[in-house]
Amino acid sequence: HFNSASNNETAYWVVADPEGSEFNQAWLSWSGCDTVVKGGRQRLLLDNERFVGGVGWRQNEQTFDGGSIVNKSLKDTTLTYSYIDNVNRVFGPDDGTQEIWLGDWESAIHLMNASYAGLPFGTLTAYGYLMDIESADAQSNETYGLRFAGKQALGKTVSLLYTLEYARQEDYADNPVEYDADYYMVEAGLALPAAVTLNLGQEMLEGDEESRGKAFRTPLATLHKFQGWADVFLATPSGGIQDSYAGASIVVAGVTAQAVWHDFEAEDGGASYGDELDLSLTRKFGQYFTGMLKYADYSADGFAVDTQKFWLQLQLDF
């Protein structure tokens, strides 16, 4: 038993894989002069997908109807512009039982992203996302931000990994709530011999515990990648959220093992939101198959309810 968002099983946690089928992509493109122009239903994956992504974890991938232009005429520079008039969401093709679970969002969205990889220590990205989500006005926002990510060798076998990001968000279009909120993410890690990676980080989405609808939001993100695999925080709580996390991964005999620990608290007021342990094992079998075991254990500490999820997955790529 689970709540697919459209089966009315509201007593259970949401597993957003409703029954149905839909065309995933259908587009025409032109390439030339260091430029790719694409129109139609398409996949958009910007940066680490924190603001715009495909939610590839779900059975029904999120794709976008509209047009996009990617230009690389300038050395080490990628300029991207996209216009979206409909978001084909993971809850589709039919609508769910709540506005937030609509299968489609009619929209007038402008996405602008510029990255420069010519710096000695990493890639600098600036972005502006203007999201007029006509089917869900409360999700409409305009967001502007900067991101810097890089890797620096500390020796022959060890590298330092680092990412810094800041964004500012305000209400936009017909959002009924006037607000502004900040976002930041700081992460550092080490790439070690034997395919070992360690990382520490903190991500903050600002909120206001006394005013509903004023929290920083990322409605087009690949949300499953962030703030724990149990998917407790798909919507930012009113008080915002601060996620402090540590992770490790290693590859042994072709198996990639990963562990991540999260500690959650409210950005406004500092109340505990609990903690979560995430574990996964992934291995390729031959040329086409990938198997995965995955586990998430969220301890609520008074916020929401304790949640455990387990996945066994076999993927075919061709």
Output the pLDDT for position 71.
98
Global confidence as pTM: 0.93
Output the pLDDT for position 15.
78
Output the pLDDT for position 97.
65
Full 3-state SS string of the chain: CCECCCCCCCCCCECCCCCCCCCCCEEEEEEECCEEEEEEEECCCCCCCCCCCCCCCCCCCCEEEEEEEEECCCCCEEEEEEEEEEEECCCCCCCCCCHHHCCEEEEEEEEEEEEEEEECCEEEEEEEEEEEECCCHHHCEEEEEEEEEEEEECCCCCEEEEEEEEEEEEECCCCCCCCEEEEEEEEEEEEECCCEEEEEEEEEECCCCCCCCCCCCCCCCCHHHCCCCCCCCCCCCCCCEEEEEEEEEEEECCEEEEEEEEEEECCCCCCEEEEEEEEEEEEEECCCEEEEEEEEEEECCCCCCCEEEEEEEEEECC
From first to last of its 318 residues, what are the pLDDT tens digits of the chain?
Answer: 777 777 777 777 777 788 878 889 999 999 999 999 999 999 999 999 999 999 988 888 999 999 999 999 999 999 999 999 999 999 877 766 677 778 899 999 999 999 999 999 999 999 999 999 999 999 999 999 999 999 999 999 999 999 999 999 999 999 999 999 999 999 999 999 989 999 999 999 999 999 999 999 999 999 999 999 999 999 999 999 999 999 999 999 999 999 999 999 999 999 999 999 999 999 999 999 999 999 999 999 888 889 999 999 999 988
All structural domains of the chain, each given as residue ranges with its CATH number in brackets, are 26-316 (2.40.160.10)
Output the pLDDT for position 168.
99
Output the pLDDT for position 101.
78
Output the pLDDT for position 188.
98
Output the pLDDT for position 77.
98
